[in-house]
Amino acid sequence: MQFKALDIPDVYLITPRQFGDDRGYFMESFRANVFADATGVTTPFVQDNQSYSSQANTVRGLHYQSPPHAQGKLVRCPQGAVMDVAVDIRTGSKTFGQWVGALLTADNCHQLFVPAGFLHGFATLTPETYVHYKCTDYYAAECDGNVAWNDPDLAIDWGRVHGFDASQVVLSTKDARAPLMKDWNNPFT
């Protein structure tokens, strides 16, 4: 596996090694000791989640789970393609309010590690897209929250990869009502 630290410390783009032949390929998508050695993260993953989006331009996020059940996530896209985004909301962080993103596709097999203390979201670039992510804590409804995906202060460039059309965005009711960061009480203080 290759681990590339992105512009925000603690966020990694991970590329598993593929062993291919005329049938396709085999890869290890996760190995705890390799992950811990490369990232320093030894917190176990305790829950796996998968989402399915039937349409391109579906945005899920920007989501977080607050303490005491804050979640780190290891995200991959086994079918389709997404622009995956992490936003630092750790109070006191030098990169507070900054974002990084990565193109995750079934073809490139890239994964993004998003630590606890970050907003996370993705935009689907193709119909029939699946996203799978491992979490470091269990889902807790009382700790669930979100921030507006299109917050102008965050200035996330969702269209930096081809195929996303913000004028055609598909949102859940929850995400459509998400507050802007300036109107939000940060639970990571």
Please name the helix (run of DSSP H) or strand (run of DSSP E) that holds residue 36, with its range, or none: helix 32-39
pLDDT tens by residue, 130-148: 999 999 999 999 999 999 9
* Closest to 66 measured CA to CA, from 45, 48, 96, 89: 89
Given the residues 64, 110, 120, 133, select the one marked as catalytic: 133
Tokens representing 142 are 């009382």
Question: What are residue 27's DSSP bridge partners?
Answer: 18
pLDDT tens by residue, 78-127: 999 999 999 999 999 999 999 999 999 999 999 999 999 999 999 999 99
- 162 classed as catalytic: no
Mapping DSSP to helix (H, G, I), strand (E, B) and coil, where does residue 95 land? coil
pTM, rounded to two decimals: 0.94
Domains delineated in the chain:
44-183 (2.60.120.10)
Name which of 10-24, 104-118, 148-162, 166-180 the model is least confident about: 148-162
Which DSSP string do the residues of 110-177 spell out, in sequence order? Answer: -EEEE-TTEEEEEEESSSSEEEEEEESS---GGGEEE--TT-TTT---GGGSTT--GGG-B--HHHHT
Tokens representing 106 are 């079934």
pLDDT at 104: 97
Sign, CA torsion 109/94/41/118: negative
Residue 162 has pLDDT above 90, yes or no: no
- 138 classed as catalytic: no
Given the residues 12, 63, 64, 110, select the one marked as catalytic: 63
